[in-house]
C-alpha cells in the first residue's frame, strides 16, 4: 500500500515511472489525429532547462495551426512538410517544478 508521500505511477502504466502521459500527433489534421500516449520521461534535465509536472494546460491559436499544418508556411517554419516534426504540442502550462538544470538561476 502506498504511503501518502510516495510517488504515484502514471495512470495506465503502474510499473514504469520512467514514462509520462502526453498528447501526441504523427500526422497533420483535425483533433482526431491527437492521441494520448506514454512517452519517455526526460532522464536528464539540460543545464538551462526546467522539468515541470504539468497540472493544467491550454490550447491557443498557434497550437491549432501547428496541429493542422495550416497555413502551409507553418510546415516550412517548424519542419515536417508531410508529417509534423514536433510530435507534442503546447507551450502554455502550469504545474510543479520537478527538476532544475545546473545553470538555472
Confidence of residue 94 (pLDDT cuts 50, 70, 90): very high
pLDDT, position 77: 86
Domain locations in the chain as residue ranges? 19-100
Average pLDDT along the chain: 81
pLDDT, position 7: 38
CB distance 103 to 48 below 8 Å: yes
pLDDT, position 74: 86
With a CB cutoff of 8 Å and minimum separation 6, the contacts of 35 are: 23, 24, 25, 26
- pLDDT tens digit sequence for 27-78: 999 999 999 999 998 878 888 888 888 899 888 888 888 899 989 988 888 8
Amino acid at each position: 500500500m502506498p504511503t501518502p508521500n510516495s510517488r504515484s505511477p502514471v495512470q495506465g502504466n503502474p510499473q514504469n515511472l520512467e514514462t509520462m502521459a502526453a498528447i501526441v500527433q504523427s500526422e497533420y489534421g483535425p483533433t482526431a489525429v491527437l492521441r494520448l500516449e506514454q512517452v519517455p520521461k526526460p532522464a536528464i534535465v539540460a543545464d538551462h532547462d526546467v522539468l515541470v509536472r504539468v497540472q493544467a494546460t491550454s490550447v491557443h491559436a498557434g497550437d491549432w495551426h501547428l496541429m493542422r499544418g495550416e497555413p502551409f508556411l507553418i510546415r516550412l517554419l517548424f519542419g515536417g512538410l508531410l508529417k509534423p516534426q514536433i510530435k507534442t504540442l503546447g507551450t502554455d502550462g502550469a504545474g510543479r517544478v520537478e527538476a532544475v538544470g545546473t545553470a538555472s538561476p
